[in-house]
Amino acid sequence: DKVDLHTLLLYEDKQISVDEADMTWHALPDKQLDVTAGKQYVPFGAFKKGMISNPLTKKLGETQSDKVLLVSNQRGDVRTQGYTFAGTGSQDTGYGMSVEYKTDAARVGVDYVSNLVESKHVVAKFASNAVANAIPAVAVHGLAKLGRVTVIAEHITATQNVQPGDLNNKIKVAAKPATTQLEVDLDLHNDRTLALAWSGSSDAAQLKLVEEKLGVTYSQPLYKDLQGAMELMQSKDYDGTTDKTLTAQLAYAF
């Protein structure tokens, strides 16, 4: 087929919304040239995890827009993507690119986005995400499967400072926010998994991120297609205060 249509509905806070809605034109066979347009998440950051809660890398970097134009090329194990999207703040247009090498045993990628403050977290947490100058950012991520062990690592950093007065005057001191995720997942057989994860941030207090999170998650099948998981997470803020949370999750696959 030359054209694919994709829609993803999200049920959250007792409301149903359209999370993704896009169309892909397969201009050349075998993924040599695909063109996708619509509402989608841009390919910035990998955010792979075995935990229930999201790492700080996803909090800082996950970016979505109602208007995205994405061009991708697949050659062997290497995928290259370039995109442009409609901004929501003082920058009308954003853009970026992503290069990833992926096999069954490992994957490694480097991504770039022109304005980090277009992330979902910043848009949701601040009355305005306007900045004097765009804040470019880079993401480096990798995953390796070593027998029953999967190792995940990711680092996201701005390449320029947010400046005093940015984000509706919420930024008081120049800062270059960054986040890191390190995780080890152990396959215990029979679809049982134990995940240990740490994620940390620097210069990100003004963006309303905690300084670090450390946690463990255990998941296993409960009945047929019903999966259960339990997570214990401790977070520490920049002022030294800590918080512990225990989270249970039930997931049904169909």
Sequential DSSP letters for 203-248: S-GGGT--SEEEEEEEEEEEETTEEEEEEEEEEE-TTS-EEEEEEE
Model's pTM, two decimal places? 0.95
Question: Looking at per-residue confidence, does 164 or 1 come out higher?
Answer: 164
Can you say whether the dihedral through the CA atoms of 116, 119, 125, 131 is positive or negative?
Answer: positive
Kindly state the tokens that stand for 141: 């991520």
Given this model, what pLDDT does residue 254 score? 79
90 confidence band (pLDDT: 50, 70, 90): confident
Q: Residues 72, 96: contact at Cβ < 8 Å? A: no
Given this model, what pLDDT does residue 1 score? 73
Per-residue pLDDT, averaged over 40-48, amounts to 98
Per-residue pLDDT, averaged over 213-229, amounts to 96
Question: Looking at per-residue confidence, does 224 or 210 come out higher?
Answer: 210
Given this model, what pLDDT does residue 155 score? 99
Select from 130, 100, 134 the least CA-distant residue to 114: 134
* Alpha carbon distance 232, 184 (integer Å): 15
pLDDT above 90 coverage of the chain, percent: 94
* Alpha carbon distance 234, 1 (integer Å): 48
Q: What are phi and psi of 32, to 5 degrees?
A: -65, -30
Q: What are the Cα distances from residue 33, in Å, to 72, 85, 90, 162?
A: 6, 19, 32, 36
pLDDT surpasses 90 at 11: no
228 confidence band (pLDDT: 50, 70, 90): very high
Per-residue pLDDT, averaged over 143-163, amounts to 98
Given this model, what pLDDT does residue 13 score? 82
Compute the mean pLDDT over every residue in the chain, rounded to the nearest whole number. Answer: 96
Given this model, what pLDDT does residue 151 score? 99
pLDDT surpasses 80 at 89: no
Return the DSSP state at 18.
E
How would DSSP label each residue in 126-172?
Answer: SS----SS---EEEEEEEEEETTEEEEEEEEEESS-B-TTHHHHT--
How long, in residues, is the chain? 254
Residue 58, classed as helix, strand or coil, is: helix
Per-residue pLDDT, averaged over 156-180, amounts to 97
Per-residue pLDDT, averaged over 74-84, amounts to 98
Per-residue pLDDT, averaged over 40-47, amounts to 98
